[in-house]
Chain A
């Protein structure tokens, strides 16, 4: 049991939250971070879907890693990811239809998310299933965290809502002259918020600053 949660495994799981974050440090998966973060709800669902897919794809590829011929490994990885994406997409359509409509093509496009291919190539091909599972889970949560932070600010400042509940859209606030910022709902602002997150993170971590 202690072996399962050794120091190394803890690092594998927790590093993607901070010093090895897939979005803010490796700068992967930016397209979907811009596209689905206008509202908080789709961002949470998207983060959850990617977490599930990357964790299980990591496990499956890790189990197969010794039998996959090197020259066709990308194809095999894609097939595994595509199968998982299809399952997640069907589940969303069945149980969360509204959100799946809002996410539209971006669920299908998880196949092309660089985080997935990155983890499969860089980690699952060399490591045992349990470590791969932790790595996938950690990276998925690291990705979801950034999505949720970005979507929180965009929905709050852009639409005055959180998860569809009015926070700033009341007459008493509107009477003071406050207005929602329409630019927040457009993709450029997501990029700037991601930039701010990176800024804060690097300011806090001395070892991430280049000399």
Chain B
């Protein structure tokens, strides 16, 4: 750490006014303030600073995402070797395969997103904003493993420009940037984002994981299987054997890279809640909303609609429900900001996600659309919470 500090101090003059690398000063500033908390304070007025700044908050969210990412890599390898009938290939093979399959997506997402951020910062002569640190790792985690890299790059560019920079950069966006990337992919390239062929990596990487698919292979996700059936079915894993509840809980099912494991997401949720960065109010109320809506559909849903009859705990375990609740709905920029508003926002996200799953067979997973929909309503919720508080206090003042 000391050596890095010394090195940064040594090269710093190059980036200052008149230095030969002055053109890249925003890149240097961004990197320096990412590694070290800036020691400068505001020059005028009285300010109260939080102990950690937003770059540190972003870093903790990234740390919280790592368990889910690592498990996602392992699961990518596991699903692949399961598909070619060699599930006992050893941990290193499984993880190594998944690592090599996921790594290009992370690189593409960061290079495209940060590239645009750097260009915009350079162009407008501003500091580099840190918002993409989290989006950049979220994006590869919410796409299927077989999603081609170039459409990932297009979608990332689209959403950084049109969802974030247009509205004024980090902290000003109305929609969650990572989810908008996914929505762009979902509507723009539906054949690469849904169906039953994109969830399992089938090719070999550098000779790793060579083999032919087993005959009983079927790559549909559990929610995909449920959406296409009328009768109650036993959910099967990709090699045809039955998937147990514990498989779904620990995440050994096909799905988007980071979303499958409830356990890994729970570790991330613990980190977010322990450090006080994610709001427990939003998280809890998303789950409550999902449970309540699940129970309602159990009672009143059509008897031949298996999605409606699915027990609530299975709704919460499958698809992106947990991932969305922990990492997407709690996004401090796009969710409701008032404390009461967080309960309302979270509850409606959970309820809407289940409603979309059950009532629209075209969208077996509703979490993305539910969160994006509620992102629009978050300012409205805040407005009414603030208004009702004002009216209540005015009333109290008048009654005295």
Contacts and interface: CB of A to CB of B under 8 A. Distances in A.
Interface in A183-197: 183-184, 186, 192
Interface string A75-102: 0000000000000000000000000000
Contact of A181 (B148, B162, B188): B188
Tier of interface size on chain A: under 10
Contacts, number: 20
A177 B151 CA distance: 9
Given A177-B148, A177-B150, A182 B187 contact: yes
A179 interface: yes
20 contacts: A177-B148, A177-B150, A179-B148, A179-B151, A179-B189, A179-B191, A179-B192, A181-B154, A181-B188, A181-B189, A182-B187, A182-B188, A182-B189, A182-B190, A183-B184, A183-B187, A183-B188, A184-B188, A186-B187, A192-B162
A180 B151 CA distance: 10
Contacts of B191: 179
A95 B189 CA distance: 37
A181 B186 CA distance: 10
A181 B188 CA distance: 5
A46 to B, nearest CB: 25
Contacts of B184: 183
B146 to A, nearest CB: 12
Nearest to B184: A183
Contacts of B151: 179
Nearest to A182: B188
Nearest to A192: B162
A192 B183 CA distance: 15
A181 B154 CA distance: 10
Nearest to B189: A179
Contacts of A186: 187
Interface string B133-149: 00000000000000010
Contacts of A182: 187-190
A30 B154 CA distance: 26
Given A181-B188, A183-B187, A186-B187, 9 more contacts: A179-B148, A179-B151, A179-B189, A179-B191, A181-B154, A182-B189, A182-B190, A183-B188, A192-B162
A179 B189 CA distance: 8
A186 B184 CA distance: 11
Nearest to A196: B162
A149 B316 CA distance: 46
A183 B188 CA distance: 4
A184 B184 CA distance: 10
A182 B184 CA distance: 9
A116 B190 CA distance: 39
Contacts of A181: 154, 188-189
A16 B292 CA distance: 56
A186 B183 CA distance: 13
Nearest to B150: A177
Contacts of A179: 148, 151, 189, 191-192
Contacts of B148: 177, 179
A179 B188 CA distance: 9
Nearest to B149: A177
A55 B189 CA distance: 42
B145 to A, nearest CB: 16
A181 B189 CA distance: 6
